[in-house]
Structures are given as structure tokens and as C-alpha cells.
Amino acid sequence: MSRHRVKAVSYDDEDYDYGYDSPDPEEQEFLQQCTTEVLTQLRAGDPPVTATRDEVQEALWHYYNDVEKSVNYLRGKKAKEVKKKPSAPAPAKPSAVPVYPAPFSPPSPPTAHFSAADFFRDAPWLNVPAHRKAEMLVEPLYPRLGLLGGAPESGGKVSKLAALAAARKKKEGDKASSPAPAAVPETEKPQASSGDQKATPLSLRERLASSAKPQKSLDSLQSPRSLAKGSCLGSPLPPKTPPEPKKQSAPEVADQAKVEKEVPVASQQEDEPSITIRASPSTFASTIVGDSTRPKMAESNHLYANTLDLIRIYGQDLAEPFDFAGPSPDDVVLNAQSSAKGFKSKQATSKSAGNKKAQGDLASGMNNLSVEEKVNVRSKNLDVLSEYSKSQRKKAMNFAVIGHVDAGKSTLMGRLLADLKAVDQRTLDKYRSEAHQMGKESFALAWVLDQGSEERARGVTIDIATNKFETATTVFTIVDSPGHRDFVPNMIAGASQADFAVLVIDSGTGNFESGLKGQTKEHALLARSMGIQRIIVAVNKMDSVEWDQERFQEIEQQVSSFLTTAGFQAKNIAFVPCSGIAGDNVTRRSTDPNVSWYQGRTLVEELEATEPYSHAVDKPLRMTIGDVFRGSVQNPLSISGRLDAGSLQVGDQILTMPSGEKATIRSLEVDGEPNDWAVAGQNVTLNLVNIDPIHLRSGDVICRASAPIANVTSFTCKVLAFDHLLPSMVDIHRGRLHVPGRISRLVATLDKGSGASIKKKPKIVGPGTVARIVVEMDQAVPLEAPTRIVLRAGGDTVAAGLLE
Amino acid sequence: MRLVKNKIELNGSGTVTLCPEEPEDMWHAYNLIRPNDLLRASAIRRVTTTQETGSTSSARVHLTLEVRVKNLDFDPQSSQLHVSGTIVNETAHTKVGQHHTLDLELNRNFTLEKEVGSDGEGVGWDSMAVEMLKDAVDEGGKRRAEAVAVVMQEGLAHICFIGQFQTILKQKVEMSVPRKRHGGGDHDKGMSKFYQVTLDTLLRQLEFNTSATSLTNIEAVRPVLLASPGFVAAGFQKYIQSVASTSMPALKRLLPSFVVVHSASGYLHSLSEVLQSPAVKATLADTKYARETKLMDDFLEQLRKETNRATYGPREVESAVDQGAVGRGGGVLIISNRLFRSQDVAERKRWVSLVDRVRDVEGGDVRVLSSDHESGRRLDGLGGVAALLTFPIVDDDIDNDDDQ
């Protein structure tokens, strides 16, 4: 039977999914022609060289059917073989036995379909000189190995160890026994079969099915079950390979492997002391079982040699044959790797380093190395939204504390935290004594929030500070904003994180009036234009005006009229007279007889009366980075901020804009507590990996690659002008984002109510007018409609509005 | 710039030989030289000769070439001007019609010829060109005032040199400074790192000799303006003082020239506010820059207060001039010199004639603002031209035109 037909059959049997190796009859014919030609040329050459068809076809495949190159290659190879191993017995029938065990026949890709033959095709033990197999024959008698039959899955792993143990024995045995010439005729098998067994990666079952057919040669190696049946016990095993000179690299790699496995091997040996007791098999036995019983050669790689033997042992000895029902874990990985690479030669990454592919793999391994260590974070694949709905959390709210500079915002909040025991007394005492030393005793409470050294030295809040406290029903996060005019950008960042606002007003004579012209007004307008609807007005420092009811009413009247014009609804405005420094009406009702006129809520009660807000948890992820910092040694890169929309969980990959870089969330904290997920509205700290800190700046936006936010250099927006607007330079604020830009065009002024265009292309837009304008920026910035933006120029807020 | 020879004819054609002496003169040259002018300057040209055998040899030769200008390329950072065009004079090494790019060099004369042409297709030495030439030559000789400004905010600093005609952004320092956090000293650390980087950059840009023993006391003392919102600039000054007293004594020489001023943000457009501050006005009051900034502010103020007595935009201003509103008694035409740099001859003629008309016919005032200053940039945002009017005009008809 022509080996070719067998091959064709095998093609039909296997489910190939690779296009390039389809058994096109024309190609086959061409291949045949080429093979014949190469063989003739080899024989004709000087010195005449012989090679199997297999080899030739292998070579041809590698050289894309280039006859000349193939001839050269084969000749060179043979020459080397002859030179290296003068003692090697020449193949008795050169064309009958594959001289060089080509690891792969060209059209046999790794198949998803498991087959034992395929499975071990390139394994080194198949390339082992037959004589190696002899001594191992006795080993199946060990009960230990027999156990393996019951657990096919673990077979792969244990076999490795056992193989190594056996390898040791073998080595000893090799030393003892002198190399004997091969005693078994290699010609027992028909030529076709030997080629066949290698070139046809039939599945095990198919093999078994066909094992009864006379025309199919039985391969004890690859069909252990057939061996067990005894169907071919009498027939000696075909020597798959004559002694084969290894490439130089092979022993090296082997040694390496050996070193790595030294320890398990040693222990294995101790477990099996009886091995050496066994006598070598008799001549009869070897005749029965096969030529492999006799060592032909001393030289070879014992390590791999014995691995093969073990496999054979399983096959021959197991009462219940090991049918390799499933691939070993190693091979699952390897198959996946090789199929991913789409190139079967990569399969050789397996422990079999004995063939020539090893070198190539080392090289490719080097290529795959990268200096940067990628950290893999496993995602728990939680359904965050359902987790969120399941979770029994207290309602959580953020509020911004706003107001004119020196209105007592930080002190009031410090008082709130101190009275609610969110700050312990010891810390407070420490601040008191430190403040006393600096001669700023009245600032002690503010130091709870003003942590910066400069803030304390100057007695001014510079940047926003967040702090958390709990009441019976709610978890509140304070966002304490600076009141100073220069730090309005920071206040904008704070207000953008808030659900509602506490406007602190200094009731002191003259201070209230100056505040109303200054940041009291600006902050309130900003808060409103950033979407804050509820505002609690804390009329602070009432103790300094002796809790004068008239003063309170005057302030209440002025402020509420202003807030109503700013767009707050009257029902969303609340007034509380209080004193931050003394603590009256903050958490406790004032005991001062002068305050008896006030029977309303205290500040905390007023805070608790606020309805919680819903957040867009099911929208695409958006989060503006508030801060980039080094969290700790474990988390060298952390970002914090509030989730504007969407949800995320540990292990998620996120995209930062405008840099467009990806990062992975290693862990995250919600309100300072580690958690697996977070949803919109929560204040989170994300610990990131796989990104360079240079790509992260505060003001950048975090999103998902599936729904990225666009970077824009120009946008149209509808704004309410606070000042005269004309084409000019402005600062654009959106939360922490602060970029320079310019108003390039005034499109139209609009009617406040209907939004209809009143005047197109106005020369100038007056204060209090709604207008549509075009803003351009030099750098691309992540912005998308409908975002609320604030435009400032020269230290003043000139407009605020909505992106269109 | 030194005027070596002036041969401008009455009809506007003629040649001028100039010698640039300082980097800013290149900017003047850039404004003076227009496409289609003839420029004669020394040049180095690589000449390749081919022998009969086919072998080639190339040599660099010094030549004086005259080119008809096609393109100008000005690099404000390094103050280099490259003028490309076709050669019009025959030399031993070049042929007429070959292209060459002249690199104007400091202290090397160049000759600029502008032609009117027989039927007036060229612009010649028009009034604007002559004015620019006067500016460039600086007959008054009082334009030494220069300043360095560091406009900064947390994590961001712009170092720029303010000259008479140009503001050059020399370098931008950008760093991520961690925000204040609970129990973290990262912020202070980040700030001092930021100060350090900014100081290093500033000294490098100033080409300041940091060795204590240097005898270069003659180096010109320029005011260094540190501007920021909040306390960043003050903190920076403090940092410089501490560095001067500890590790870098040479810095003490520089200390008196630091001036801390307020600005609304760390971006470059806050520079106008910097120049408004009293501390700066004292030192830079008489500079062109300060005058220009003030003019722009006046204009914007006027626009806010009496919207109809100020206007901006090319068509609006032209219409106002037609109505005679930019005339005697307070009419001021503010125009950016970018408009005169236009490649299009007709465009330039349009603006030059507008300027001539306002100045000579209407009797109004004309101010040409440098587009390389902050004020000029603000003007460019308004279309490059604006006007303060003598009487209010209602521009409804213009709107109607636009609507059509």
C-alpha cells in the first residue's frame, strides 16, 4: 500500500481546520514528483546519500518544494550524521526506516481533537533509540505505576516524575552494560507502516478501530490498548528511530531540564529502591517483547529516552489501558499556545527540548520577553449592578461646603466632625496645642480639614478636603472647598463631586455684605450652574452678633432672594443660624437663651433631611480623576475621584483620556474601605497597574475602551453669561479639568425661557444673557455632551453652561 | 537694527540695507520682508560640480545672492529667519532661477528691495512698511526694557521672555503634584520638587552662571516676574531664597530682580494681568508692550460700557470707518501686524489703505499691535482689527448682511 494513500485517509479522518494543508490532489502529485526527484539526486550525488521519502517530503515542505535546496539540506544532514556517529550502524534498509525522525509531517497541524499519536508525535521519547526501551520493560511491574492507570488525567504529570526516576536507573544500568549491537532486525515491519505511523496522526480511537485490519500496521507505541489486548505482543516493536545524533543544543537544554528536575527525581528514587534488584530480561524475553530490550548505544539522552519507555510501559502493562482520554494539563496549555500562534512548530515548547525546534523556541522566548512586567489581575466578573442592588448600604451623599473666604467653613466642618466623634479627642487636643503654639487658636478646628502645611501657616484653605462621617441614617462625605478667590478652580472641583451644598455665611457686620459681593455669590452661582439643586445656608458666627434675630432675618431675606434669582427653588433652600466655633445648632441645639427664637432644625438634622440622589449607574463608565498619588508600597499608583457614571470592578481594564492609555484596576477602595466593585456616586480610590504615571493627570477622564469619551478641541455650548462675553481667552473648568481655551465665536444670544435665538452673531454678550458660543482649545480634551462647564477669565467666572 | 543705507524713492520703490544686531531684529526683518521682494544677503551654498569623467565633487562656497522672496520661515523660539526664493543674480556658481534659502544672520548686512512695478502690482515701501522700518531701526533708542515672566500654578509653569515686540514662551514646566490628602506629606514634597524643576529650567533659560566666583556682574539685570494665583509664586520665591542661602550662593545676585505678582491662572493668557500689576508697571511702564496691553484693556472696557462705541472684526471696522466713526476726537484703529504679513498682496493693500485713510483722511489714531504679544493675541481673537469709535453706531445692518 502506498503510504500516500494512508496519508490521504488520515486526512479524511482528522478534522483539519487549516486551509494550507488541504490534501489537494495536484499538490500531492507535485510533491510525489519532487520527492522522487530529490531521491534520485541524492542517490546520484557524490557521496550517494539515502533518505526516506518521509524525510524528503519533510525537507521539501520546509523548502517550499525547492528540489535543489532540499537536496542540499538532506545531504548536509546526512553528512553530519555520518561524521558525528561513525559507530552508528547504518540503517539496514535505508529507505525503510526513517533516518531522521522528522517531528512533523508537513500537513499535520495541532488538532483540537485529541489523539495519542498526535499527542506524543513530537515528544522526545519517540525519537529515542530503541535500545533504550529494554530495561524499562520491567518497570511496569511496580504497583506504583499501575496506579496511574486509574487516573488518566494525572498520568501526564506522574509520568514525568516516574520517567525521571527511571532515567536515573537507566543511567546506572547504561554504565553497567556495555553497548551491544542491535539484535533485532529492523525490517520486520513493512516499510509503509513505519512511515505511516509517524505521518498519520490518527486519533487513538481510530487507531484502535483499525488495528484489526491487516493492512494497517499496529503501532504498539501509539495504541497502548492494542498492546494490552495482546494483539501484537508477539510482534517486536518497530524501531522508530535509529540512533540519532542530537543537535548540540539538545543536551544543553536537556541538562538544564535535568537540573530543574533533580529534586523530584531524587525523592522518587528513594521511593523505589527495588528497581535495581531486577535482573535484565533474558534473550527470549527480549525477542518476545522487542528489540528495544537491548541497548544499542551507550550514547543518548537518557532523560528523554526513558520518558518514552514509561509510556510504553503503561501501554503494555496496565490492566486497564491508559487511553489518554484527555490531554494532560501541560498539553492543554501547549496546544492553546501553539494554536494561538497558528504555527505548529511552536508546539515544541513542551518539555521535549530534544529536537531542533528547541533553539528556535529559546529565541522566540527571548523575543517575547519584555522589560516591563505585566501584572495580571483576575476579574471576579461580578454583575456589579445586581451586587449594588443587593448590598445593604446606608444612603451615601456628598456635600460641598462653600462660601466666602473666612466665613468659617472649615471650622464649622471641623466642629461637625468633632461633635460626631469622627475625629478623636486626642487628635483634636493635638491640633489645639499646635495651633496655640502658632498663635492661631481659633483655627484648631479647621485643622481637622486643613491638613496642608501652607494652609495651616496661612490659615486659609487652599485645596478641597474630603472627610467622612456617619449619622444614624446616612454616610456623608464632606467636600470642604476653599473660599479664597484664587482657589475657585479647586472649589469647582469640589462642587462637581457634590450632591448638595452647604453655603456658609459670616453673619458678622460687614463680613456678610462683602461676602455677598464676593465668593458667596460666585460660589452659589457656580454650585447652581453645576447642577446642585439643594442648598443649606448655615448662617455662621451668630455668636458674634449675640444671636440677633433681626440680623438673621435680614440675611435670610437677602440671601434667599439672591438664591432664587440664581435658580434655586425656594423649597430647596434652608437656613440654620449656628456657630461653628462654639458648636451651637451644629449637632446640638443651642442652650443660649438668646437663641430661643429659633426652633428649627440643627445643621445635622437639616443635612439628614436631604433626599438621596440617584446616579447614572447603568451609563458608560465616566470618572474624572481628582488626584494621582502614590498610595503605598503595594500600590505605587493610585487615583481617586468620584464615579460620575457607570460602574467598575477589580480587574477591569480602563482607558484614560486624553492620553488614550489603558490600565488595569488592581484593587479599589470605596470611601476608604476595600471593595470589589464601585458604582456611580461613590468616592473611590483605584489602585492601577500596567500604566505609566505620566499618562495620568488630575482632570483626566477614566472610561472604558468599549465606550470611550471623545477628545475634542472645539465645542459649542449654551452658557449663562456672568460677565460680558466676547471672543477672548478663557479658562475652561470641568471638575478637576482646567485647560486654557478661547471663545472663538458668539453664535447667538438666546431667549432664557424658550431657548430660541434672539440675535445672531452678537458683538458682545451682556451679563445675565444666555448665549450659544463656540469655544476652542489648543489641546484635545475629553469632553462630551451634556457636560456642565465653567468659563473663567482674569480670576472671575464669566460664564457657565452646558455642552451641546 | 542698524540702518546702513536708505534709498527709498518717492514712489515707494527702493532699497534699504540693514544690519540686524540682536535676535529681536529678526522678528522685524520677518515683518519687513514680503513675498516678491528682492533680498540680497551673503549665503553659503553647496555647489556640486560634475567632471567629464562623471565624478562629482561638492564644495561649500560663500556667495552674495539676491533672491526674489517666495516664502519666509520664522522660528520665534530661536529667532531665526529663513527666506527662500529664486536667485536673480548670476554668479560663478549659480544660475538665475535656481532656488536658494537665505538664512539671515546677526551682524551681517542684508539689502531689501521693494518694487512698485510699472502698473502698481507691487506694494513697495508703503506707509506701514516705512513705519515698521522705523520701529525696527529704533531711532529713539529706548527699547532695552525686557523682562522674564514665570507664570505658574500648582504643577504648571510657563517661562517666557517679554521683549519689546515679542513674548516668547521659552519653556513650559508641567508636573503632576499630588493633592493634599489625609496624613500625606506628598503634596509638600511634590511642590518642592516642582519648584526645583522650575528653578533649574529658569536658570537654564536665563543662561545664568551658577558659579559663585563668576565675575559676570555686568550681566544685564532683567526683572523676573513670578506670577501665580494663590501662594505658588510666593512659595517659589521663598524656595529660591532658601536655595540661594544654602546650596547656590550665586543665586543671591539674582534675588533682587524677583518680583512676585498675582495672576488669575498659570496659563499664558494671564500674562496680561501680570503686566497690569503695579509692581510691573513701575518697571515696564514705557514699553510698547505695556502700552499695547493698556490699549486692549481700554478697548474691552469701552466695549463693555458703551457697546456701540467700540467695534471689532474686519467688516464691522471697515463699515465704521466708512461712516466716519474712527476719526478725530478719540477714534482709534487697533490693528494686528499679522494682517500686514499676509501673503496676499491685495489683502495687505486693503489694510494699508485702511490705516492710511484713518490716519491721513479721518484724523484718527492708529495703533499697530504686535501679534506676538499677549495683547496682539487677544486682538487676533477678535479678528485682528478693532476700533474705538467717536460716536455710537448701531450695527444691525451688518447682522442683516450676515444673515443673508
Q: Does B403 touch chain A (CB under 8 A)?
A: yes
Residue pair A563/A535 in contact by the 8 Å Cβ criterion: yes
A382, A644, A717, B298 from A654: Cα distances, Å: 16, 15, 28, 49
E strand or H helix that includes residue B188: helix B186-206
Q: Residue A340 CA to chain centroid, in angstroms? A: 18
A2, A55, A96, A146, A480 from A28: Cα distances, Å: 13, 16, 21, 44, 80
Question: Is ipTM > 0.85 here?
Answer: no
Q: Does B268 touch chain A (CB under 8 A)?
A: yes
Secondary structure percentages of chain B, helix, strand, coil, to 5: 35, 30, 35
pLDDT at A467 over 70: yes
When pLDDT is averaged across residues A378-396 and rounded to a whole number, the result is 79
Residue pair A664/A688 in contact by the 8 Å Cβ criterion: yes
B48/chain A closest Cα distance in angstroms: 44
pLDDT of residue A59: 80
pLDDT of residue A226: 42
Answer whether B147-284 and B288-403 agree in fold.
Answer: no
- Interface touch B269/A729, C-beta < 8 Å: yes
When pLDDT is cut at 50, 70 and 90, the band that residue A775 belongs to is very high
pLDDT of residue B17: 92
Q: Does B311 touch chain A (CB under 8 A)?
A: yes
pLDDT of residue B84: 92
Residue that wins the pLDDT comparison between B182 and A803:
A803
Burial of A512 (0-12, 13-18, 19+ CB in 10 A): buried
- Reported for A252-260, long-range contacts at CB under 8 A and 24+ positions apart, including other chains, are A253/A353, A253/A354, A253/A358, A253/A362, A254/A301, A254/A303, A254/A304, A254/A353, A254/A354, A256/A353, A257/A303, A257/A351, A257/A353, A258/A303
- Interface touch A731/B264, C-beta < 8 Å: yes
pLDDT at A598 over 70: yes
When pLDDT is cut at 50, 70 and 90, the band that residue A656 belongs to is very high
Read off φ and ψ for residue A427, nearest 5 degrees.
-60, -40
Residues of B whose CB is below 8 A from A697: 176
Which amino acid belongs to residue A298?
A
* Full 3-state SS string of A729-794: EEEEEECCEEEEEEEEEEEEEECCCCCCEEEECCCCECCCCEEEEEEEEEEEEECCCCCEEEEEEC
pLDDT of residue B194: 93
Burial of A795 (0-12, 13-18, 19+ CB in 10 A): middle
When pLDDT is cut at 50, 70 and 90, the band that residue B396 belongs to is low
pLDDT, chain A, mean: 73
When pLDDT is averaged across residues A124-133 and rounded to a whole number, the result is 61
- Interface touch B231/A458, C-beta < 8 Å: yes
A729/chain B closest Cα distance in angstroms: 7
Number of residue pairs across A and B with CB atoms under 8 Å? 109
Residue pair B386/B317 in contact by the 8 Å Cβ criterion: yes
Residues of B whose CB is below 8 A from A698: 176, 179
**CB within 8 Å of A28: residues ≥ 6 apart:** A4, A8
CATH number for region B147-284: 3.30.420.60
pLDDT at A242 over 80: no
Q: Does B62 touch chain A (CB under 8 A)?
A: no
pLDDT at B288 over 60: yes
Residues of A whose CB is below 8 A from B180: 451-452, 455, 462-463, 465
User: pLDDT of B40-65, one tens digit each?
Assistant: 999 888 888 888 888 888 888 888 99
User: pLDDT of A170-198, one tens digit each?
Assistant: 777 666 554 444 444 444 444 444 444 44
Spell out the CATH class of B288-403.
alpha beta
Pairing relation of β-strands B110-114 and B99-103? unpaired
- Interface touch B176/A760, C-beta < 8 Å: no
Beta-bridge partner residues of B366: B333
- Interface touch A760/B402, C-beta < 8 Å: yes
When pLDDT is cut at 50, 70 and 90, the band that residue A146 belongs to is very low
A57, A83, A87, A671, B27 from A245: Cα distances, Å: 20, 10, 11, 67, 78
- Interface touch A764/B304, C-beta < 8 Å: yes
Which superfamily is assigned to B2-137 in CATH?
Answer: Pelota, domain A (2.30.30.870)
What are the cell numbers at A159?
A: 509520568
Residue pair B270/B227 in contact by the 8 Å Cβ criterion: yes
Q: Which residue of A has its CA nearest to B299?
A: A726
- Interface touch B178/A763, C-beta < 8 Å: no
Q: Which residue of B has its CA nearest to A487?
A: B230
Domain definitions of chain B by residue range: 2-137, 147-284, 288-403
B335/chain A closest Cα distance in angstroms: 16
When pLDDT is averaged across residues A628-651 and rounded to a whole number, the result is 86
pLDDT of residue A355: 54
Show which of residues 99-158 on chain B sit within 8 Å of chain A, judged by CB atoms. Answer: none
Residue in B378, B381, B402 closest to A761 by CB: B402
Whose CA is closest to A637, among A661, A621, A617? A661
DSSP string, A207-218: HHHHTTSTTSPP
Q: Does B376 touch chain A (CB under 8 A)?
A: no
pLDDT at A233 over 60: no
Show which of residues 8-47 on chain B sit within 8 Å of chain A, judged by CB atoms. Answer: none
First CA to last CA distance, chain B: 49
Residue pair A347/A122 in contact by the 8 Å Cβ criterion: yes
Q: Rounded distance, CA A751 to CA A731, Å?
A: 25
User: pLDDT of A527-559, one tens digit each?
Assistant: 988 888 899 999 988 888 888 888 889 999 999
pLDDT, chain B, mean: 82
User: pLDDT of B148-204, one tens digit each?
Assistant: 889 999 889 999 888 777 788 888 998 888 887 766 678 888 889 999 999 999 988
Q: Rounded distance, CA A127 to CA B258, Å?
A: 82
What are the cell numbers at B121?
A: 502690482
pLDDT of residue B236: 92
